[in-house]
Structure 1
């Protein structure tokens, strides 16, 4: 059975590394063509590097389990393994039991399918998911969200806007995500109500590590924009680019359907 370890790839040199990357590049381009096209080849290669490293931490070195790990990164975000929205991932990856890589991968696959079925529903094609994200951005109301009651206010709004997923993730997982969102927002000069809420929404839609996700490069690019320093201005720009990114994904999806 072929075993892929980052240290081995480094030792074999650039040819072997590029060969493995090319295989995964082709596979992932077929797995999520819209996202891969929008992010670009260079960012996908960065994601593959990151995925090989993170999978290796959990003892996943065989090609099949590593491939699944990369697929889950595309579905749930590059840092799904530590995301409170997906506690089952950490539980299975950190399970110390004497199980094979293949068995661990099968469990991950089954849990991912269960999450999609219960949190997303029967219409889980990519275009539907993108439209759901756009609707979520549009319908979430911040009119009654206050800094003093940010946690309960956002719990209420998230449950109202995305009830099936809220219920499936569970209130403790959502609370953890909100706390993480506030920390990230403050570190990124997004400390207004709008900025904190937007940070949380991005993490809800793209994964809690989306600010460092190679497949969401527009987030980091936006935050590096030195022309916008005020929290409210940064939040508005980030929201505008979020909609542009989602619309781009829909456009690429439509192109794929026509071709």
Structure 2
């Protein structure tokens, strides 16, 4: 498993060109952003063979796609799952389980921690953490790996552990039909970068010092954005069943 994704040259796929001081390429930083997120945005294109002339049109095959997905990570592999005939599953599994020949895929996860409001709107920003990972998609054909990947995706939001329990293990097993109609895609991280901003407003000195014209007229500051889990609400048919530890553990937990 890679521990560092530092690009070799500025022309590398994942080199951060803008605001380079905010970039990070170490695996722990990238993995922590992935692990604390709930939704990944997955970018892909459909096979060129569908539209061999590449003629511009409004047909879906001529456009790139970015789709929000549930996901899970094991070491340097991000797992995705979906309906067997879904557009994304068909596109990402077209090379089968050949990782080297798999279609290129980009996955991003972003957390917004604050709104940063400046005197000059060009200095407005967010405090944020984001990760962008690149890799080739492969179809998970091994049944044992497929089951492990589905467990990982299911347990991902709960930060499951031996003490708190596992949502996958605390659920009915999938049926044979469900397994046959579900594809699992693995994307091994080939390159990755993280980018983050923390701190206060970065207003221009001349605007700060212009008390009569700017800083004395307009408000500047930071507005925290908090995303946290609330108290679980059980279904009527779950009366009498104790709320599991992995669910109780979410109450009040912040994603920031």
Is this a same-fold pair by TM over 0.5? no
- Say which structure is richer in helix: 1
Q: Which has the larger radius of gyration?
A: 2
TM-score of the superposed pair, with normalisation by structure 1: 0.24
More strand by share: 2
The alignment's TM-score, normalised by the length of structure 2, stands at 0.24
